[in-house]
Each structure stands twice: as C-alpha cells, then as structure tokens.
Amino acid sequence: MARIVGGLATSHIPAIGGAIAKGLQKEPYWKPFFDGFDPAREWLARERPDAVVVFYNDHGLNFFLDKMPTFAVGAAPEYRNDDEGWGIPTLPPFKGIPELSWAVIDHLVAKDFDIVTCQEMLVDHAFTVPLKLFWPDDDAPPAVPVCINTVQFPLPSAKRCWAMGKAVGEAIAAWDEDMKVVTIGSGGLSHQLEGQRAGFINKPFDLEFLRSMVDDPEWATQFSILELVEKTGTQGVELLNWLAARAASPGRMRRVCQNYHIPISNTAAATLVLEAA
C-alpha cells in the first residue's frame, strides 16, 4: 500500500524563482530563507519519496477569474509551466502520475467533493517554486497537483479544505502500490499585496499556526474565511494549502525542521517539514 511519509510546506513567492535563476541564494537578503532548506533536502535524500502531492493555488495561468474552480486535480502525464509575466524562467515539464491522480479523483468524488478534473494543466509558480526549492537538481518525483481556490470569493472554508485533504490522504492509503508519498502545502504565510493593509504581516498568528501543524493540526479550522483574511491578509489565506496537506496525514507527526523569515517580498516566508510519527 502507498503511504504518506511526510508533509512539506513552503512559501511560493515568484521572486524566489527569480533568486534561484540568478543564483542569489547566498545574498544577505535571501540567505536566511534559503538556509532553511538544507535540513529539508537532507531528510528528502534519506526518505527518497516516490511521489508528491502538491496542494497549491493557481494565479491565473491555468484558471482565471472568469473560471475559478474551488478544487481541481491534475490527471496528466506531465504538467507544463509557462511565462507568467514575473520575469522568472519557464521550467521544463514536470512528470505526472496519472494512476495516483485518478485514484485521488475517484475517491474525492465518492466523498461528495465536486472537483474539476484536468487531463491537461498548466502549473504556475505556486507549483513550480516549491518543487525547485525542495529538489534543486530538478529530480522531483512524479506529482499530483491539487489546486485550491484562495484567490476569488467565495473561498472554501478551512474545515472544507481539511476534509478535502483528509480524503486525499485516504485515497493515497488505499492505493494498491508500494510507494512512499510526501505532500506539499504551498503558499503564505501572512501577507497582503493590495489595499490599505498592503504589507500586512501577523507574526504571532503565523507562529501559532506553525505550532498547530504539529500539536493541534485542526486549530485553524475554527476560523471563518473572513476571520482568516483579517488575521493573515488577503493572500495569507494560502495557508489553506498547508492545512489540506497536513490533513492528508491526520495522525501524529514530528517536526523535522522549521524556518520562519520576514519579510521576503512583503511576505512572511516559512518552511516546514513533518514526518510520520
């Protein structure tokens, strides 16, 4: 049987992709952020996962405001990146694992989740940046993209995202393949890019959320979407991706490493690696 051996999470700011492309990882501005990935990569080198499920939000490359699904799952043999206008390089296609994708899709539908199934799918920086951060040598395992709307209201509740992530974990556990899987939650933490609160960061909330990922993973589900926007900023609700990734492994998990750095491009940038306890 397939099993989830760990959960990863990181910020996905486009400027990170630009820093990687320009080789700026050791520059004083970037070094505190990139240094947080050394223990994460060491852990991945030991575990050698066979597949990765990426919970992320699309920023208009594959879905735009006129057609924004609440949940979408990729079921393609490969996922192509394209120019998003941020000035970051377009990356080669990422390998998919359609058999696992369909197992996830079938289980989600059986659990009454109305999802969009994508047999072709463009993936933006929210998908590509985490894979490049955790696997800088472009040797990431085959991926299943799970896209959550954190962009345009109405947004799914934290409770709904937890339930969806839990169902994805059930599908992986029931998949009849002897494989090791990791999940990735992509985005955040607290930040707001527009309006009167542009530049907003809520460090106390971020640190409490990071703590909860280990000790009380359903903690954030007590808040409504509007409450989460108030506490984290309009873009900080990307923590829904972290929540869904954590829900895929609802049992006890140990913290392997954690890094929190502010600011990177007006964002509270964080990295977290958990392993099955």
Domain count, the chain: 1
Q: Domain residues for 93?
A: 3-276
CB-CB contact of 203 with 262 (8 Å):
yes
CB half-sphere exposure, 187, CA atoms < 13 A? 32
The predicted-structure confidence for 96-115, as pLDDT tens digits, reads as follows 999 999 999 999 999 999 99
**Average pLDDT value for residue range 202-218:** 96
What pLDDT sits at residue 222? 97
CB 233 within 8 A of CB 192: yes
Sheet with 143-148, side-by-side order of all strands? 116-118, 71-74, 143-148, 51-56, 180-186, 3-10, 267-276, 253-264
* Catalytic pick among 59, 107, 125, 261: 125
Catalytic residue among 12, 107, 191, 261: 191
- Region 247-259: mean pLDDT is 94
Is residue 107 among the annotated active site residues?
no
Q: Is the pLDDT of residue 226 over 90?
A: yes
| pLDDT for 85 beyond 90 | no
For the cut 90, the answer to whether the pLDDT of residue 195 exceeds it is: no
pLDDT of residue 84: 81
Q: Write down the residue that tokens 């899987």 correspond to.
A: 181
* Whether residue 208 has pLDDT greater than 90: yes
Mean pLDDT score, 149-177: 97
Pairwise CA distance, residues 75 & 229, whole Å: 31
- Say yes or no to pLDDT of 171 above 90: yes
Task: Give the CATH number for residue 137.
Answer: 3.40.830.10
* Residue 40 near residue 170, CB atoms below 8 Å: no
Residues belonging to the chain = 277
Q: Give the model confidence (pLDDT) of 5-25 as tens digits.
A: 999 999 999 999 999 999 999
Instruction: Tell me what pLDDT residue 59 has.
Output: 93
Residue 59 annotated among the catalytic residues of the structure? no
Integer angstrom CA distances of residue 130 from 88, 224, 225, 270, 272: 14, 27, 24, 11, 12
d(CA 138, CA 132) in angstroms, rounded, equals 7
Contacts of 204 (CB under 8 A, 6+ apart): none
Report the pLDDT value the prediction gives residue 89, as an integer from 0 to 100.
86
Question: In the prediction, which pLDDT does 102 show?
Answer: 98
AA identity, residue 212 = S
Q: Is the pLDDT of residue 152 over 90?
A: yes
